[in-house]
Amino acid sequence: MAEITLNNIVKQYGDGFPAVNDVSLDIKDGEFMIFVGPSGCGKSTLLRMVVGLEDITSGELLIDGKRVNDLSPKDRNLSMVFQNYALYPHLSVYENIASPLRLSKGKHSDTDIDSKVRMASSMLELDEHLDRKPANLSGGQRQRVAMGRAIVRDADAFLFDEPLSNLDAKLRGQMRTEISKMQRRLGITTVYVTHDQTEAMTLGDRVAVLKKGVLQQCASPRELYEQPVNLFVAGFIGSPPMNFLPATVTGDRLHLPFGEVEIHGPKADAIRQRQTVIAGIRPEYFKDAELGEEIDNGTEFRAVVDQTEWLGNDLYAYIPYEMDPSVQRTLDELDKELDGEGVRPQLVVNLDSRSLVSEGEEAHLVFDPSLMHVFDPETGECLTRDEDRAAQIARRSEDERRRALERAKARDAREQVRESA
């Protein structure tokens, strides 16, 4: 296991384009770190610099306090799992898993190799497939073989480059569970690149969100969701994404497209001197008032629904509104950064599936203004981020990570006792 430290890392190509620009991160020993962002944000380039497949233009990369900028990949003792599996098609599953040990030229005996391969295959439920060739395996089985090859190396850290992108939705869900269990059981430092925020939110102890090579925020999934630092993070994290609404300020009141909202406490202090802001409200914060779902100090409003989507466990309703030209440019730029297809001036609400809201009808909705965020339309800064709440979430997430590692170690110890009995 290892700590990985990135100090002001820059990757600049010959044309002067900074694919990664001044990124600093401390990845803790045993931590599961996710790099996430839209296409072209620099997440894979950053991972490749960690493993040594890309040169570092400037900055320092430390593994357990040792500077490794100039070390070749083989000398960094890191295991990488690629998107395309990179298996040897002519070798059996057994030999694919054993290949990094055999390439170490005499460092491992046949008995040692067999023990490590069978340990990895048992962990990944590959025992019955050891004699098969990769061509005869499913996508999920091939990915487990690639993971097994990483495990036997006794590396200091695992690096994953979008390993599940070639799998269908059901297999991705299964493999997420496999990877999470493996990481907790081994307690090994893991860095994982993905564009899928479901993977990021379910796997990571912390998630680093990148935009155009610049680190926007690194925090636990819950902190990113509840306390984003800016418009980009708020819009990228969450599905469906946060609603961004134009709002004008009058004293302690916000005038939204569907009505007025009174703001209290620190949030009121943050907006009082402004004229125009962007209000951010997540779709699930809205409730159908007709179902009797009351919210203390909630704001109620009525609006005509343009379209609905009933999914069995949820009902999505889409409510159009008029866009304020003063924030149109900011939201258009944000949409491009998020790989969107154009800003649609509509409010998306995620309601209980029992709701009878229907297209063309007026809906009676309610939401809690205390859950709303307010952003500066010029800088994108979140004006209502609660630093104390963010710190509390960070402490709790770190405690949960440590407890999970302790449980995994205790479980391993019990299994070893049973095996030796």
Pair 277, 376: CB distance under 8 Å: yes
If 0-12 CB within 10 Å is exposed, 13-18 middle and 19+ buried, where does residue 343 land?
Answer: middle
**Domain span(s) for CATH 3.40.50.300 in the chain:** 4-226
**C-alpha separations of 91 from 81, 94, 105, 115 in Å:** 18, 8, 18, 19
Tokens of 111: 């008995």
- Find the helix or strand (DSSP H, E) in which 345 lies: none
Q: For residues 360 and 181, what is the distance between their CA atoms, to the nearest angstrom?
A: 47
For residue 421, the model assigns a pLDDT of: 66
Amino acid at 392: Q
**Hey, which residues does 18 pair with through a beta bridge?**
12
Q: Where in the chain is the domain with CATH 2.40.50.140?
A: 239-384
Among residues 218, 227, 211, 354, the alpha carbon closest in space to that of 282 is found at 227
Q: Which helix or strand (DSSP H or E) is residue 362 part of? A: strand 362-367
pLDDT of residue 1: 67
- The backbone torsions φ and ψ at residue 64, rounded to the nearest 5 degrees and listed phi first, read 55, 40
CB 8 within 8 A of CB 22: yes
Residue ranges of the chain with per-residue pLDDT less than 70: 1, 340-343, 419, 421
User: What is the arrangement of strands in the sheet containing 243-250, beginning at the earlier edge strand?
Assistant: 259-262, 253-256, 243-250, 276-281, 373-375
Q: Does domain 4-226 have CATH number 3.40.50.1110?
A: no
pLDDT at 388 (0 to 100): 93
CATH hierarchy code of domain 239-384: 2.40.50.140
Measured CA to CA, the distance from residue 100 to residue 398 in angstroms comes to 33
Exposure string of 214-232, with b = 16+ CB inside 10 Å and e = fewer, is bbbbbbbbebbbbbbbbbb
**Pairwise CA distance, residues 411 & 404, whole Å:** 11
Give dist(CA 242, CA 231) in Å, integer: 9
